[in-house]
Amino acid sequence: MSAFFVTGTDTDAGKTTITAGLLRAFARAGVPARAVKPVQTGCVEGPDGLEAPDVAVWKRAGGEGRAISLFRVPCSPHLAARLEGATLSAASLAAECRKSVGAEGVTLFEGAGGLHVPLNEEESMLDLMRELRFPVLLVVANRLGCLNHAVLTLDALEQAGLTAAGMVLCRTAPPDQADAGTGAEAEALILSDNVESLAREGKRRGVPLLADVPYLADVSPQDEQFWDALADRLAGAARRLAEEPDDARRHEELLAFDRAHLWHPYTSAMRPLPALEVTGASGARLFLQGGASLVDGMSSWWCRVHGYGNRRLVRAVQRQAAVLSHVMFGGLTHEPAVELGRRLLSLLPAGLEHIFFADSGSVAVEVAMKMAVQYWRSLGREKKSRFVALRGAYHGDTLGAMSLCDPITGMHSLFSGVLPRQLFVERPTCRFDAPYDPASFAPMERMLRAHAGETAAVVVEPVVQGAGGMWFYHPSYLRDLRALCDELDVLLLADEIATGFGRTGRMFACDHAGVSPDVMCVGKALTGGMMTLSAVAATRRVAEGISGADAAHGGGVFMHGPTFMGNPLACAAACAGLDELCSSPWRERVLHIQQTLEQNLAPCRNAPGVCDVRVLGAIGVVEMEQAVDVEAWQKYFVSRGVWIRPFGRTVYVMPPFVVSDEELHLLAGAVCDAVTSAAVHGGSPALDNNGRPYSC
C-alpha cells in the first residue's frame, strides 16, 4: 500500500485530469487505486447532497474516490471555508486523510491549486502535505513560464523536507489559443524545450519526469477514448508509482544495521536495547516508521524547548547553510557568533561578560574547569586546582566533567585511577518546596572551610540536579554558597546546561536565588535543540585574571580552541532559538505546564512503590522506591503513545514548552497509569495480550 500527494505548479495545471488518468492506468494494470480530495471547492447540490466536481471527473475516467471537506464557492479553500462559516486545519485534515489511505494498492491525495494555497490564516496546502509526509507527484502545466514555476515548487518541497516522487508535464490548452501571439512554430519549440529542460532539472535533483501528456485535441473528455489515450500516456508513470516502495523491508534492514553496528547511549554493542525508528517530528510529536506518533515527554533530553519543525528555527538553519555553514574561528569572526554573544549577554545573570563557544555540554564543563584552573595559576596560586562538587550531580561524560558527577551513579569505580579525584559534599537536603533550613548548608560549609586553599571552584547545577536524580533544592542554598565562595576566595561555577532558558520557570535557575556565578555553562536548549552548541560565560574578573598571566603561567591566553568553535550554523540556530523564546510567552507556558503536571501527577503520590512526586517549572518527577526496568516501562509508554524514558528510580517528564493540554494529559495520564499498574504487576506496568496497555 502506498499514498501520494498530487500537487500542481499552479491552479489549472491539470491535476484532476492526471489523477483521473492515473486511476484508469492503475485499473488497467490491475492495481487497486482510489483518489481523495482533502478540500473541494465549487461543489454543487446533487440528489444526495453536495457533489464534488473533481470526484465526478475521476468517475468519468472509471476511477473511484471521495472528497473530505466540501464547499460551494469555487475559490481558495480558506476563503470558501470562511464564507461558509467553517474552519480548516492541516492537522485535522491530515487525520482524515490518513484514515482514507486504502489497505491495498495506491491512494492519490489531490491538493487544491499549488503549495502555498491557504487553508486558513496561518496554514497552507504545504502544511497539510508536511503533516502527511507522503511522496509528492508534481503536475507541471506545460506552458510559457512553467520551468520557473516547477523549479520554485521543487525548491519549496525540498525545503519542507518532502520527497518529490516525480513530475508529469501536462498540456491543458489547445495550440494557438493558449499562448496568443507566440505563433504556432515558436509555441511548439517552447513546449518541447520545456520537456527537455524539465527532464534535465529533474535528473539533477533525482526527481524523474514520469510523463509528458500533450493536449488531447481530437477527443472529448466525455469520451472513453479520451481516457484511454490519457491512460496510455500515463501507463509508465503508474507502473513507477505502483512499484512497492517496501518501506517495511527498508525499516527492517535499517534496524538490523543499527543493532549490528551503531552504539547508542549507555548500551551494550552486543546486546542493545530495542530502538525505534523516528522518521520526522512536528510540535511535541515524534513520528515513527509505520505511521504511529508519540508525544515527546523528554524534549529529546532537555533541548527541544520549541518542539520540532519550528519554522523560525528551520529557516534560520536553511538560510545560514546557504550563506556560510562553517569557518574556523581562529582569526576570523562572523555575524551569527556576534549576534549570539549579544543575545546571551542580555539574558545572562549580571556580571558574566566574556563568552567562549564550545560544541557540547561536556566540553563546556571541561572549558569551565580549565578556566578556573588557569585563573588561579595566573595569580600564582597553583595549589587551587581541585573542585568541590555535589553528590547526585551530573555534569557530562568526558573525563573532567565525569569526575564532577556523583561518584556512584557517575560510575567512578569503573574509571578509578584515571579520573581526577574531586571533593564531594552530600546533596542539598533542603527541598525547593519546603522552608529553608540553614543547617542543610553545613556540610558544604565544613568542606569549603577545610579545603578552600586547594579548591579552584565549587561546581553545581543550580536548584535542579538533573540526570543525577532529578532533585530540586532550595535557592537559599545557592545564596549561602555564593556568600561563602566570596568569603573564602573560591570560584562558583554554575552548570545551567539542563536548567538554562526557562525550563525551571526562570530564564536561568540561578535567577531563583538572584545569584551570579563566576563561570556559567549553557548548552542543550541553547539552539532549541536544532544542533549541538554550548557556551561558557565568565566574569570580567576571571577573564582578566587569565589574561594577566606571565609567560610561565600561560602567557595570558586561554588554552582551548575546538575545531568547530563558534560554528555559524549552530550560532544562527541559537539566535533563532533565543528569539523564539523571548518572543513567546514562555513564562506563562512553563507555569501552566507546572500547574497541569502538579494536578495530573498528584494521584501518583499515594500509589504503592512511589516515594516522592515533585514538579518545578516544566519538569515533573515521580520518584520510585526501586529502580525501574527501563525497557519494560518504555514499552508500556510507547503503547500509550508517549515517549518517556525513565532513569534509575525516577520516572520524569520535561515536555517541549509548545506541548498542548491534550498532550500533557496524555503524558501525565500514562505516568499515573504506569505507576498504578506497576504496583500490582511486580514493579513494571503490564501490557495486555495485544501489546496494548493493561487498563487499570
Ligand X SMILES: *Cc1c(COP(=O)(O)O)cnc(C)c1O
Answer for which of 65, 361, 410, 646 binds ligand X (CB under 6 A) is 361
Rounded CA-CA distance 365/373 in Å is 12
Shortest distance, CB of residue 70 to ligand X, whole angstroms? 51
Give me 300's grid cell: 529529546
Q: Contact, 623 vs 612, CB < 8 A?
A: yes
Question: Does position 403 bind ligand X by CB under 6 A?
Answer: no
Residue with smaller CB distance to ligand X, 390 or 628? 390
Distance of CA 690 to the CA centre of its chain: 30
Residue with smaller CB distance to ligand X, 394 or 473? 394
Shortest distance, CB of residue 538 to ligand X, whole angstroms? 17
Number of Cβ within a 10 Å radius of residue 236 = 13
Shortest distance, CB of residue 524 to ligand X, whole angstroms? 6
Answer for which of 168, 170, 467, 621 binds ligand X (CB under 6 A) is 467
Question: Does position 395 bind ligand X by CB under 6 A?
Answer: yes
Residue with smaller CB distance to ligand X, 618 or 675? 618
Residue with smaller CB distance to ligand X, 20 or 470? 470
Shortest distance, CB of residue 468 to ligand X, whole angstroms? 8
Shortest distance, CB of residue 574 to ligand X, whole angstroms? 14
Whether 524 is catalytic is yes
Answer for which of 118, 523, 529, 577 binds ligand X (CB under 6 A) is 523
Residue with smaller CB distance to ligand X, 154 or 390? 390
Residue with smaller CB distance to ligand X, 169 or 368? 368
Compute the C-alpha angle 653/463/603, nearest 5°.
35
For strand 44-46 and strand 455-460, is the pairing parallel, antiparallel, or unpaired? unpaired
Helix ranges (H only) for 29-110 are 53-60, 77-83, 90-99
348, 354, 356, 362 alpha-carbon torsion, rounded to 10°: -50
In the set 308, 375, 394, 636, the catalytic residue is 394
Judged by CB under 6 A, the chain residues 301 through 360 that form the site for ligand X are 360
Sequence-distant (6+) residues with CB within 8 A of 651 are 621, 622, 623, 624, 628, 633, 644, 671, 674, 675
Give me 42's grid cell: 465549487
Judged by CB under 6 A, the chain residues 638 through 657 that form the site for ligand X are none
DSSP string, 456-522: EEEEE--SEE-TTT-EEB-HHHHHHHHHHHHHHT-EEEEE-TTTTTTTTSSSSGGGGTT---SEEEE
Residue with smaller CB distance to ligand X, 396 or 568? 396
Judged by CB under 6 A, the chain residues 363 through 382 that form the site for ligand X are 365
Beta bridge partners of 492: 458
Answer for which of 9, 41, 362, 676 binds ligand X (CB under 6 A) is 362
Q: Contact, 622 vs 686, CB < 8 A?
A: no
For strand 471-472 and strand 464-465, is the pairing parallel, antiparallel, or unpaired? antiparallel
Strand order in the sheet with 278-282: 278-282, 285-288, 293-296, 642-643
Site string for ligand X, 427-466 (x = CB under 6 A): ----------------------------------x----x
Q: Is 541 helix (H, G, I), strand (E, B) or coil?
A: helix
Answer for which of 38, 166, 392, 396 binds ligand X (CB under 6 A) is 396
Residue with smaller CB distance to ligand X, 359 or 623? 359
Residue with smaller CB distance to ligand X, 142 or 532? 532
Judged by CB under 6 A, the chain residues 491 through 520 that form the site for ligand X are 495, 497-498
Residues binding ligand X: number (CB under 6 A): 15
Cα dist. 214→54, 188, 225, 425, 569 in Å?
20, 11, 15, 80, 45
In the set 266, 383, 486, 489, the catalytic residue is 266
Shortest distance, CB of residue 497 to ligand X, whole angstroms? 4
Residue with smaller CB distance to ligand X, 283 or 500? 500
Judged by CB under 6 A, the chain residues 475 through 494 that form the site for ligand X are none
Rounded CA-CA distance 584/658 in Å is 10
With CA atoms as reference, report the closest residue to 561 among 412, 289, 349, 356. Answer: 356
Residue with smaller CB distance to ligand X, 123 or 511? 511
Residue with smaller CB distance to ligand X, 366 or 518? 366
In the set 495, 511, 518, 673, the catalytic residue is 495
3-state secondary structure 229-276: HHHHHHHHHHHHHHCCCCHHHHHHHHHHHHHHHCCCCCCCCCCCCCCC
Question: Does position 406 bind ligand X by CB under 6 A?
Answer: no
Give me 185's grid cell: 512554430
In the set 524, 636, 652, 673, the catalytic residue is 524
DSSP 8-class letter at 290: T
Sequence-distant (6+) residues with CB within 8 A of 362 are 395, 396, 397, 398, 401
Among the residue ranges 11-19, 33-41, 109-117, 389-397, the one whose residues contact ligand X (CB under 6 A) = 389-397
Judged by CB under 6 A, the chain residues 36 through 95 that form the site for ligand X are none
Instruction: Say how many residues make up the chain.
Output: 696
Shortest distance, CB of residue 392 to ligand X, whole angstroms? 12
E strands, 171-230, are: 209-213
Shortest distance, CB of residue 647 to ligand X, whole angstroms? 12
Answer for which of 5, 26, 394, 473 binds ligand X (CB under 6 A) is 394
Sequence-distant (6+) residues with CB within 8 A of 416 are none
Residue with smaller CB distance to ligand X, 258 or 397? 397
Shortest distance, CB of residue 658 to ligand X, whole angstroms? 21
Q: Contact, 458 vs 481, CB < 8 A?
A: yes
Site string for ligand X, 95-134 (x = CB under 6 A): ----------------------------------------
Rounded CA-CA distance 279/288 in Å is 6
Q: Which residue number places its CB atom closest to ligand X?
A: 361
Sequence-distant (6+) residues with CB within 8 A of 64 are 23, 34, 35, 58
Shortest distance, CB of residue 350 to ligand X, whole angstroms? 22
Amino acid identity of residue 491, one-letter, is L
Residues that bind ligand X (CB under 6 A): 360-362, 365, 394-396, 461, 466-467, 495, 497-498, 523-524
Active site residues: 266, 394, 495, 524
